[in-house]
């Protein structure tokens, strides 16, 4: 019987020493939570600078109009719009009154912008 022996072609000079620091599950959790709070803190610092102004704005002058039977939002907006842009006036009335649709009911009170001639 013959014996075959192989010598390795590559012999590493020295094996890398393993670090003596090992993190347990709790240690990994502490490192993760610390980094998470650090990132959130930095994000809050940058978000704090996103303030518009320190002064209050002036509200647009409005008047209250009561909806009569047969009135539509288009009709009310066309009476108010002096520049002929009825659609933007409709959007403004919807925004002022927090309307979800253009449907109105008789007796409903709407805030509309005061138009100066």
pLDDT tens readout for residues 35-83: 999 999 998 888 777 667 777 788 888 899 999 999 999 999 998 888 8
What domain count does the chain have? 1
Residue 72, in any domain of the structure: yes
Q: Is the pTM of this model over 0.85?
A: no
How far is residue 40's CA from residue 99's CA, in Å, rounded to a whole number? Answer: 37
103 within some domain: yes
Give the domain extent around 96. 62-113
- Domain containing 82 — which CATH number? 3.10.350.10
> Both tokens of residue 6?
């192989």
**In-domain check, residue 66:** yes
77 within a domain of the structure (yes/no)? yes
Q: Considering the domain boundaries, does residue 39 fall inside one?
A: no
The token pair that represents 54 in the structure block: 């320190």
């Amino acid at each position: 019987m013959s014996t075959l022996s192989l010598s390795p072609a590559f012999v590493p000079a020295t094996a890398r020493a393993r670090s003596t620091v090992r993190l347990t599950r709790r240690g990994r959790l502490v490192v993760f939570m610390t980094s998470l709070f650090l990132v959130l803190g930095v994000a809050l610092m940058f978000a704090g600078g996103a303030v518009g102004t320190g002064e209050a704005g002036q509200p647009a002058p409005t008047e209250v109009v009561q909806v009569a039977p047969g009135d539509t939002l288009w009709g009310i907006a066309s009476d108010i719009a002096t520049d002929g842009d009825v659609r933007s006036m409709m959007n403004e009335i919807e925004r002022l009154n927090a309307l979800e649709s253009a449907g109105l009911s008789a007796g409903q009170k709407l805030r509309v912008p005061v138009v100066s001639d």
